[in-house]
Amino acid sequence: MKRLTTILMALCTIGCGTHGSPSDAASQVTMASLLDEMISYDAVTGYPAVNYRAAQVSSYDRRTVDLHEPGWFANDDGAGFERLDTIRGRVEKVLFDEKGPGAITRIWMTTNDKRGTLRFYFDGASTPEIEIPAYDMARFPVTVGEALSLTHTHYEDELSKTGGNTFFLPLPYARSCRITLEESDYTVKIPRYYHVGYRTYDNGTNVRTFSLREVRKLTDKIAAVNRKLFSPETYTDGTECTRTVTPMSNGATSLHLPDGNKAIRSLTITLSEFDPADLVEIMQRTWLRIDFDGIRCVWCPLDCFFGAGTGAPASSNWYVSSDGKGTFTSRWVMPYAEHADLRLEKRTDIPFTAVITGYVDDFDWTAQTLYFHATYHDETSIPVNNDYNSPDNLDWNFTTITGRGVYCGDVLSLYNHCPDWYGEGDEKIWIDNDTFPSFMGTGTEDYYNCSWAPVVPFATPFGGAPRADEASSHGYNTFVRTRNLDVIPFGQRLQFDLEMLSWNPGAVDYRAAAFWYGTAASAATEKN
């Protein structure tokens, strides 16, 4: 048995500036305000001041109706849509039709033939505000930058060939939004995969409806948002607290975080004095624990906490970064009301030195403020199946959180024992009293903002795939997704399941980390 070493670290305090959770008073939801929210690290630290419900409409197989009925794992996920409308003599497939006030926060699309016309109708208008001469958000009529319009790795330029794009420019609407697709022959079956993630605000919320004119006025702001997303700033104000420790299997170092209304605004761990070949074990078998106000909120292996997964390869997004060599940074804002403790727990005999650097600053704790959580569990030999009608198919529970909170992202790091693609299964995310998932997906890679297996490594401000060892998808693979405007608030409960479907039967070993904010009473399932 490996010996366990616990190093309890906390950081000293001096006076510093004040920061806080989102303002309780919100005037109007606009594209500009949503862009500001997108690049605010503080925005997710509290329950939304302007209340909304998050959900997703997708092209999932419409035979999926009920957990207890045939078709729950049906997999013709590129065929679903809402209905057919005839508009000015055109037959248009309705992909999305929701009443507001609301805002679209994420559009993911792909196909193997991009020919067609997309139209976006706002607030009941008979004329579309947006018309795109392709099933392809990469051809949006205004340049929004590569951070807000992510082209997938298998994308081909020709209209008749493979698409793939994730679009993050927010599209607010006061009363309604309808998205349609016109095809040359709607009876010809062409796979049209899509997700439209959106918010529905409380009735009476003041929302200014999207217009192309406003997008053009916001050109400079959109460019600045792109720059920030691609080059996230790590907080270095407030109190710099640094400690160098050499974890030993028979010793411990204890420290205490500064008391009061504070927040850890950035945390960097740099490892040294180790054989590079040992980094895999060090990162997987050294755990980070952080207790806020006496509550264990962070409990996660270092490799998953920092968004790298097994092997700790280079990985970077808005919230976390790994250089693949031993330096790891978190930009999650972690507030607390009175006190906090931070520790590393070393479950390996491999020696190394760790430099822990945190920046702690004052924080305006309000009734809306939530604690940051990073929770983890793993499981080996999970069966995956290519018979999508089998009664033995499994919805694997990624996490279930009870209480009130905001879901902000996750890491899926795995070993695939199958000879080829393992991730045919969809995400199913249930919120509060759902009788059908608020988020019903179309495939594991689609959830993680790419398309078409096999997946190749990629990185975006919103996550990516730091690791994909083999073109076949066999072996080690890691996905990361962090959420900005597409966070998911929940009032009582959130359940996140993944279907265990594949191209060939076999098994996978899953390591899953979830990032979320919650109250003192909120808790997630943990198996470790």
Note the pLDDT tens digit of each residue in 18-58: 344 344 334 699 999 999 999 999 999 999 989 999 999 99
Query: CA neighbours within 13 Å on the CB side: how many for 228?
Result: 15
Is 61 domain-assigned?
Answer: no
Which residue type occupies 172? P
CA–CA gap between residue 319 and residue 339 (Å, rounded): 23
Do 383 and 497 lie in one domain? The reply is yes
In a domain? residue 295: yes
Shared domain for 93 and 221, answered yes or no, is yes
Looking at the structure, tell me whether residues 412 and 451 fall in a common domain: yes
70 lies in a domain?
Answer: no
**Does 507 map to a domain?**
yes
pLDDT (tens digit per residue) in 505-517? 999 999 999 999 9
- Domain residue limits at 426: 371-524
CATH number reported for the structural domain that contains residue 442 in this entry: 2.60.120.1390
User: For residue 22, is it within any domain?
Assistant: no
Res. 385: pLDDT tops 90: yes
Asked if residue 64 belongs to a domain, the reply is: no
Per the domain annotation, does 65 fall within a domain?
no
* Confidence class for position 312, pLDDT limits 50, 70, 90: very high
Q: Number of structural domains, the chain?
A: 3
Single out the residue in 348, 364, 380 at which a domain terminates.
Answer: 364
A 10 A CB-CB count for 246 gives 13
What would the mean pLDDT of 170-179 be, rounded to a whole number?
Answer: 99
Residues 222 and 241 in one domain: no
Identify the domain boundary among 200, 230, 260: 230
Say whether both 174 and 287 belong to one domain.
no
Q: 0.85 cut: is pTM over it?
A: yes
- Tokens 């006030």, located at residue: 101
Report residue 254's pLDDT band, with 50, 70 and 90 as the boundaries: low
How many residues are listed for the chain in this entry?
528
Give yes or no: residues 324 and 247 share one domain: yes
CA dist., res. 2 & res. 188, Å (int): 60
* Residue that terminates a domain, selected from 338, 364, 390: 364
Angle at 285 between CA 280 and CA 288, to 5 degrees: 115
Average pLDDT, integer, range 451-461: 96
Report yes or no on 114 lying in a domain: yes
Distance (Å) of CA 255 to CA 138, 268, 343: 50, 17, 9
Q: How far apart (Å, rounded) are the C-alpha atoms in residues 424 and 503?
A: 7
